[in-house]
Amino acid sequence: MLMRPFIADAAARRRGWKIAVAREDSRPAGARKPRAKMSPQVVLLLAVHGLFAVANALSGTFVNVYLWKSAGDMSLIGRFALAAQAVNAATFFFAGKWVKEYDKMNCLRLGVAGSALFYLIVLLLERRAADFVLLLGAVQGMAGGFFWLSFNVVYFEVTDPDNRDRFNGWAGLLGSVSGMTAPWISGMIIARLGGLRGYRWVFGLSLAVFVIGVIASFFLKKRKVPGQYDWLYGFRKLFSEGDPWRRIVPALAFQGVREGVFAFIIGLLVYIATENEQMLGNYALITSAVGLGSFWLAGKLLTPKYRGAAMLIGAAAMSAVIVPFFWKVNYATLLLFGIGTALVFPLFTIPMTSSVFDWIGKDADSARHRVEYVVLREMALNAGRIAALIVFILVIGRKADPGTLNWLLFATGSFPLLSWVMMRKLLARGTRFGAP
């Protein structure tokens, strides 16, 4: 598979496409395309992504536990997450002009630096952090918006439909390695040092890793995106008859519904069930180890031909693993859920992510508006996350019993099935429009 930077110029794209076709035609019938080595820029982008994942994995789960121990209020954790997602959506929308017309690399660096600032604020606030959840959520959301907007644009530029599944497999693999080792190390540190001192060390480690990530990002090449930023381009696609984005946007919103709640609730439930940070670290170690293997295998074997079937299986299984909670929510059922989700999650997320970015690069005109499309993608995801969090806060704020929580988890956790319903025709049609 060919790994190369994205070519923005339309004429160059046509020349490159013809060359690719000529090479493909010269191979014997039935012969497989050789896999090219990943370029240094792709490897570096994966490294920056890995550092960002490590830093977040070290402390991300434990921030929610830290706030829970300070206030003991699950709806407060929901408000923290809601503030983060709301500001994240606003950051994506307004930062789009900066990324397209100025310097996306500085945007990426600001995202990493903003995440470092978040943990610095937590360190300074210590036990008063629960009194400033909206501020903390806003800082985290802004940092994530800057990072993921620029990262997704660069990701699009250095991948194509042939290698996108492979890149996502490697990114998922790095995420699983980070999620496997970092929380386990954090849990051990907190358990051994105890209380506030342990949390200081963990948050300080995250701060240090983010600083390393900022330094590494300076070695990524600056890539100019042609044209002016069109603030409403993506939204106009929603009113264009027959446009695929009329299906893609709701599919992304349905995906975001699950992410909005499950991003924080499972780790919190594990801590509530065990009251032990080391057990939470062990949970992350086991589930992420399973995820590491499943992402590696899915990234190696999954091809565009099987995306539809894989996505359906993944979405259905992600709903099924919630059912044991109706029997009892304890460490065993939570572990069963975690292992089951880790096994099947790549089947859903790799096809979903790869397909959306393939549509962004379906032709030269779409690719020129890649920043607008990435903003539209993230706005759709955030719309689902925000809607789910509002419902979570309202429901849990009125009735926080286990039965209500289980039905809420099952309802929000089943929304990926609706994502598949919206995407199935697009997956069947395929997105092979030529190399982007």
**pLDDT, tens only, 318-334:** 999 999 999 999 999 99
CATH fold of 39-218+235-429 reads: Growth Hormone; Chain: A; (1.20.1250)
141 confidence band (pLDDT: 50, 70, 90): very high
Average pLDDT over residues 190-218: 88
Residues 6+ apart with CB under 8 A from 382: 85, 86, 88, 89, 92, 256
Q: Which residue has the higher pLDDT, 174 or 87?
A: 87
In tens, the pLDDT along 78-137 reads 999 999 999 999 998 898 888 888 878 888 889 989 999 999 998 888 888 989 999 999
Catalogue the long-range contacts made by 134-138 (C-beta closer than 8 Å, 24 or more residues apart): 134/79, 134/80, 134/83, 136/80, 136/83, 137/79, 137/80, 137/81, 137/82, 137/83, 137/84, 137/87, 138/83, 138/84, 138/87
8 Å CB contact between 366 and 148: no
Ranges 47-61, 154-168, 328-342: which has the least confidence:
154-168
What is the pLDDT at residue 421?
95
Give the whole-number percent of the chain exceeding pLDDT 70. Answer: 87
Which residue type does 18 have? K
Ranges 32-41, 106-115, 285-294: which has the least confidence:
32-41
What is the pLDDT at residue 258?
97
How many residues does the structure list for the chain?
Answer: 436
Question: Per-residue pLDDT for 168 more than 90?
Answer: no
Angstrom CA distances, 362 to 356, 410, 430, 432, stand at 10, 35, 10, 7
2 confidence band (pLDDT: 50, 70, 90): very low
Ranges 29-33, 49-53, 201-205: which has the least confidence:
29-33
In tens, the pLDDT along 244-289 reads 999 999 999 999 999 999 999 999 999 999 989 999 999 999 998 8
Vertex 161 angle, CA 57 and 346, to 5° = 35
Q: Which residue has the higher pLDDT, 390 or 173?
A: 390
Question: What would the two tokens of residue 312 be?
Answer: 């359906």
Ranges 1-5, 68-72, 147-151, 316-320: which has the least confidence:
1-5
What is the pLDDT at residue 26?
45
Question: Per-residue pLDDT for 1 more than 90?
Answer: no
What is the pLDDT at residue 226?
65
Residues 6+ apart with CB under 8 A from 14: 364
Please tell me which of 137-141, 213-217, 424-428 the model is most confident about, judged by mean pLDDT.
Answer: 137-141
18 confidence band (pLDDT: 50, 70, 90): very low
Question: Per-residue pLDDT for 373 more than 80?
Answer: yes
Count CB-CB contacts under 10 A for residue 429: 10
418 confidence band (pLDDT: 50, 70, 90): very high
Report the C-alpha gap between 324 and 344 in whole angstroms. 16
Count CB-CB contacts under 10 A for residue 336: 14
The per-residue DSSP string of 238-272 comes to: TTSTT-THHHHHHHHHHHHHHHHHHHHHHHHHHHH
Side-chain half-sphere exposure of 202, counting CA atoms within 13 A: 33
142 confidence band (pLDDT: 50, 70, 90): very high
8 Å CB contact between 279 and 407: no
Nearest to 318 by CA among 284, 348, 352, 296: 348
Question: Per-residue pLDDT for 194 more than 50?
Answer: yes
Count CB-CB contacts under 10 A for residue 233: 16
pTM of structure: 0.81
Mean pLDDT of the chain: 84
Question: Per-residue pLDDT for 15 more than 60?
Answer: no
Alpha helix (H) residue ranges in 275-330? 277-301, 307-320
Report the C-alpha gap between 268 and 270 in whole angstroms. 5
Q: What residue has token string 């100025």? A: 102
